[in-house]
Structure 1
Amino acid sequence: MPNAVAMIGITNPPGFARNLSPAFFGASASIGGYLGGLIVGGFLKSTSIVWIAMVSLAAAVLLWALLPCEVPVDCNGKIDWTGSFLSLGGLIVFNVVWNQAPAVGWSHPMIIAMLVASVGLFVGYGVWEHYFASDPIMPLSIKAPSFTPLIPVVLLNFMATGTLLWYTVAWLQEVRHWTPMRIAIGWTPFGVCGVAAAFLAALPVPRMPAQYILAIGATRILAANCHDAGATILLVSGFPEHRHQCLFPRSGLHGGPDHRQQFCQSEPTRHRGVTVGICVVALVLDLAFVRLVHDNCEGWADPADADPADEVAAPVATGAELQ
């Protein structure tokens, strides 16, 4: 995703087009998630999950045959396979740690080993990119305003958003016993509001410093997680007969009713507050360290920044025609 945003940024000159293009990119997530839920829900309601894979494969082949082939920007460029493996491996292992640790505990040997492995992969990625990679996937020497504090702020916001979405679906499945199709239909506000939010976020870009735009988004994520945590606490406190249905990270949704009831009665607010705490940390880091002045210029400030290739009509061919 960062590479996609970067390509959008360097393709469009500063101004309205550059501000609006990421909005289309951001809106595609909400549209894809909503339509994907409807499609998968429809398949699961009427047929086997195997058909989802078959239709997806057929659609991928069809798109490959019909869509035009992209002209490489750097025909002599190289792919940093080692850096890709180290970075993606570290992220995957780190994600598994945060998914499994609430269920089995942070003191579990597997969690400790995977956490050490993820840190090792990240360190190896940094060493490789800085000292050995001839064409690094992300040069560590990059210098941009507030680039370093911006990374953890965005990471924490994504972690909080992913947790919110996961627990929302888990709530609907485990507590309300909704089917996948009903969840997809109930997800309609997410699709509509997600698209609207993506385009509304583009409006203040030339009028407001970026840290405040990011703070608005972080505040909304914080409010949504507070609402989600509050709904769980109200269910436990107001309806004792449903204590076994509460959703907390440490329960992992794998324990039986007795296990979950014991945990819900002992530590509900502390563990449900982890995601809220992540949102607060992201908001504080953003307001304290991110400093990006709003840019309301139109067009390239330096004509040399424009890509001469943009003025040349590139030949267009589909994937099938290139064979």
Structure 2
Amino acid sequence: MAATLGDVAARAGVSIKTVSNVVNGTGRVGAATRQRVEQVIDELGYRPNVSARSLRRGRSGVIALAVPQIGNPYFAELAELIVKSAESYGWTVLVDQTDANPERERLVLQGIRSQLIDGLLFVPGRLTADDFAARTDTTPMVLLGERLTRVADRVAIDSYAAGRAATEHLIDLGRKRIAVIGATPSGDAVSRGRYEGYYDALVAAGLRPAARLVRSQERWRQDKGVEAVEHLLALSRPPDALFCSNDLLAHGALRALFDNGVRVPEDVAVVGIDDIAANRYTRPSLTSIAPDKQHIAETAVGLLADRLKGSFSSAPREFVAGFHLEVRESTGG
């Protein structure tokens, strides 16, 4: 049977109130008494009843982060920064994976764990405006990404500007046949934004966008990058540059180019987006659009803290995080 607060008090020879003060970090407890109580807590294996404490305080000290894929390095790196930022508020972060499955995302949205958490940071992949309009859970929420706007506080980079900057870098290198992998004009907001940035950069440079150089991919993974490059290399006039909509696609593209004896960047220059840590160690190292992940994490956590404090009851707020181009060997850096 699990040890109780009373068991700890009896063994330590103190009142239940004193044990409660030690556990919760409240009240005045002498150093010797605190040490004795903590020793008994360890001996008995006492664990506080989080649910009961939440009812008393109205807070659990836990927030949730829901992402499509924990194994995606971008989300893993962002989660690490969010955890560190949340620590400054004394929060623990519960990380959930939705696999971009609409049903699982709706469960997150409708508060399947609302009794455990104070707030939610959410990267939706498949939800619609109607899904958000049907939300009945009142847990404070901040969205990460550009898929939906004006339904909650939101933090994102400008995908259009990022796609345009990546493409303009390739144009500045003198490349004329620039393919795009992943992004598509018929995709979600992120995909459309990156494609439109690519398209407008070509038009502004007097280059003709070619449908044969657009390889849309629903899943932005390494294997899809390989698949896209195999198709592009089979064209009568293959591309001399690749704009990949994320770094995982770019990693797959680099592998396929290597396997086919194509030199990077001499024959084909490659740019990705996300600037994950692994980019420094690919061969060649990958040029990438680097979002300010630190700013994204700190802003998102700060927005959630505002909502939890009741500081804002206004309409949803939107923040656009900055980015820069990190030039490496895949474009001659």
- TM-score w.r.t. the length of structure 1 is 0.23
Structure with higher strand content = 2
Structure-2-length-normalised TM-score: 0.22
Considering only CA atoms, is the larger Rg found in Structure 1 or Structure 2? 2
Q: Which has the higher contact order (CA 8 A, sep 6+)?
A: 1
